[in-house]
Amino acid sequence: MPDPRPAAALTPARPAPRAGSTRLRIRYSECDPMGVAHHAAYAPWLEIARTELLRETGITYADLERAGTYLVVATLTLNYKRPLFYDDLIEVRTRVSGGSRVKIEHTYEIALAEEGGHGARGRRTPGELATTAASILVCVDRDGRVRPLPEWLTPAEC
């Protein structure tokens, strides 16, 4: 059931952070037959990192949706530098890099935090950068019309 309060009426417990980090372990289902993380797995990892960054305010993405505010991916780019493998522990570093009254821009770094226990895959070291990425999310209402972000979620430079 939709929340009758608009998203602007939601009150964050803490200011929206500008950066954060989330650790994930690469699952078997996210890999190709050679144990390499499949490119399709990366977009959900970025989404998890973004939603965890939002959660730090005390407001979840589900709270935003109940209030009629949706953040849709308008642009997503990924630059693969090194492969990641099944059972690797990765760190997804997320940063709010810009935006406007209606959009939020993020940049990401995916780094190896700990090599998985399924055989040596060459010389890899913790902290090694595997992927960089960027996204633009646009704020829309239930009907898909562009609308302003809640003031507390608008990037600081706007």
Contact predicate 34/106, CB 8 Å: no
Confidence of residue 121 (pLDDT cuts 50, 70, 90): low
Query: Distance (Å, rounded) from C-alpha 107 to C-alpha 131?
Result: 11
Amino acid at residue number 157: E
Q: What is the pLDDT of residue 156?
A: 81
Taken in order 141, 101, 63, 60, is the CA torsion positive or negative?
A: positive
pLDDT, tens only, 15-68: 999 999 999 999 999 999 999 999 999 999 999 999 999 999 999 999 999 999
Apex CA 72: angle with CA 89 and CA 32, to 5°?
Answer: 35
Q: What is the pLDDT of residue 123?
A: 75
